[in-house]
Amino acid sequence: MSNAIASAWKRIEACAKPTLGELFSARRDGGEGAGEPAGSDRVAMLTGRIEWGSADDGTSGAILFDWSKTHLDTALLSAFEDLAEARGFASKREALLAGDIVNVTEGRSATHTAQRGTGADADVEEAAALHQRMKLLVEAIHGGALGEIKHLIHVGIGGSALGPAMAINALARDLALVDVHVVSNIDGVALEDAIEACDPATTLIAVASKTFTTIETMTNAESALKWLADNGVADPSGRVVALTASPEKAVEWGVDETRVLPFPESVGGRYSLWSSIGFPVALGVGWDDFSAMLAGAQAVDEHFASTDGRDNLPLRAAFADRYYARVRGCETRAVFAYDERLALLPSYLQQLEMESNGKLVTADGKPVDEPTAPITWGGVGTDAQHAVFQLLHQGSHLVPIDFIASIAPGDALDPAHHRILLMNCFAQGAALMAGDKGSEPARSYPGDRPSATMLCDDIDAATLGALIAFHEHRTFSNAVLMGINPFDQFGVELGKAIARKIEKGGESFDASTEALLDAAGLA
């Protein structure tokens, strides 16, 4: 570790640890904290907005990012700025956005931002050409080129499924043009659920796999085609669209080249919603919404690319993430979406953050000397309040929390629904921070528990794009602060290799695994 990195951490660790209450009042013992912004000045210091679009054409939107209920203060912000500088944050960000090799272990660039127009010219042009093909295909399908299509079964897993599933769940509630079902699990129950809801005569299958080799996806795809064939579809392969970075494999598998939408190898699976992996979103809710999602993400890219230090909101969020993981020993971070439309966001962020930053070595192969990605978990408010918030308020773990909410409601019912939803969201943040002494130990709340709030104007396609891009850049910023490569995922390979060996047979394993195989009749 360089001296500059070590000394930035020394400063961070030596910072005083005022409580959130003290930070808001700037009153501390011994006169400490004099000059520290308090009250609304603190809120102003730690709150920022990212906006996009124009009110004239109805495309405007914004997200307010309020990190004031975290323990970040001026001393920590400045020490973390030094850490970011020591880690070469600005040049690493530039390398990412210029399409340089940032995924060093695989010798690749990471060009997901180019898919929404932020990146090197050649990458942006390649993305525009892909989007043009995708748009033509979506419009042709909507226009009946493949016959009447009412349903899409999107088969994929991990990054090839979580983004489409989340986006469809958020955006296709009232206006689905095509009824989309995302099937990921190899458990046949998942595909059965989808096919029961679809009419084979009007169903299209999208096979989404970057590698086009993933066993779950290929097995589900074969079964989906068999279902079409068994149910009177004369040419099942004529009903398949392939979304992949391995177009030759898709063609070999039997998909007509005109229905293969190839995205670049440099777009990572968990960063691929912007590429042809977003096809079900475009087909399900229309091209305009898919484009709006890209535009919302691009607005965040612009902020991320052009804002320095503590004012860079994804980087500021990463300062707090690193602080809680390393200084306060928090092993998890929870995300609660106070909006039914974002019900699948916590699972999406789980993959994004844990697959990117759950690592043991730095980008140059040395052991990481700090805790890497915390475990991301979460759920939907207010349901989670009545299930897991007991531990968050009174448990022995310190869990930094993100709240995400929308000012505009997603429902047309009595406004009381949305009012109560938002009041609950804000009340939880306030209660976690303030605590309460209570009349007896069991009824007391320690307080001083941190949270951040992302308050969206509305949940629409652009907002969803902006939220995801914010978390992509937050994840990247965390990786830079730790010196790790967020773009590989070798940790998932060993289990896959052992599953292949089991399938092949002829190898023996440990006694427990052998006994389990035996008990299940797989030995």
Ligand X SMILES: O=P(O)(O)OC[C@H]1O[C@](O)(CO)[C@@H](O)[C@@H]1O
Binding footprint of ligand X on the chain (CB under 6 A): 157-160, 209-211, 214, 217, 269-270, 355, 489, 492
Torsion of CA 195, 199, 200, 201, to 10 degrees: -170
355 is catalytic: yes
Amino acid at 178: V
* Closer to ligand X by Cβ: residue 47 or 105: 105
Is the preceding peptide bond at 382 cis, omega within 30 degrees of 0? Answer: yes
φ/ψ of 270, rounded to 5, equals -80, 0
Residue 62's closest CA among 366, 300, 368? Answer: 300
Residue 429's closest CA among 399, 407, 457, 458? Answer: 399
| Shortest distance in whole angstroms from residue 20 CB to ligand X | 37
| Shortest distance in whole angstroms from residue 49 CB to ligand X | 32
* Closer to ligand X by Cβ: residue 106 or 458: 106
| Shortest distance in whole angstroms from residue 393 CB to ligand X | 35
Tokens of 339: 């909006």
Which strands, in side-by-side order, build the sheet including 451-456? 47-52, 61-66, 451-456, 401-406, 332-338, 375-380
417 is catalytic: no
* Closer to ligand X by Cβ: residue 48 or 280: 280
Tokens of 15: 């910072």
- Closest residue to bound ligand X by CB: 269
386 is catalytic: yes
Amino acid at 334: A
Of the residues 10, 17, 496, 501, which is catalytic?
496
| Shortest distance in whole angstroms from residue 272 CB to ligand X | 7
Q: What is the DSSP string of 217-251?
A: HHHHHHHHHHHHHHTT-S-GGGGEEEEES-HHHHH
* Closer to ligand X by Cβ: residue 210 or 316: 210
Rounded to whole angstroms, the Cα distance separating 265 from 468 reads: 20
Of the residues 386, 440, 504, 507, which is catalytic?
386
| Shortest distance in whole angstroms from residue 139 CB to ligand X | 25
* Closer to ligand X by Cβ: residue 209 or 428: 209
- Ramachandran region of residue 177, left (φ > 0), alpha (ψ -120 to 50) or beta? alpha
Tokens of 5: 């990195």
| Shortest distance in whole angstroms from residue 157 CB to ligand X | 5
3-state secondary structure of 366: coil
Where helices occur in 330-383 by DSSP H, the ranges are 345-357
* Closer to ligand X by Cβ: residue 11 or 249: 249
| Shortest distance in whole angstroms from residue 502 CB to ligand X | 17
Torsion of CA 491, 328, 482, 346, to 10 degrees: 50
Of the residues 112, 355, 418, 473, which is catalytic?
355
Tokens of 200: 């084979």
* Closer to ligand X by Cβ: residue 220 or 453: 220
Question: Catalytic amino acids?
Answer: 355, 386, 496
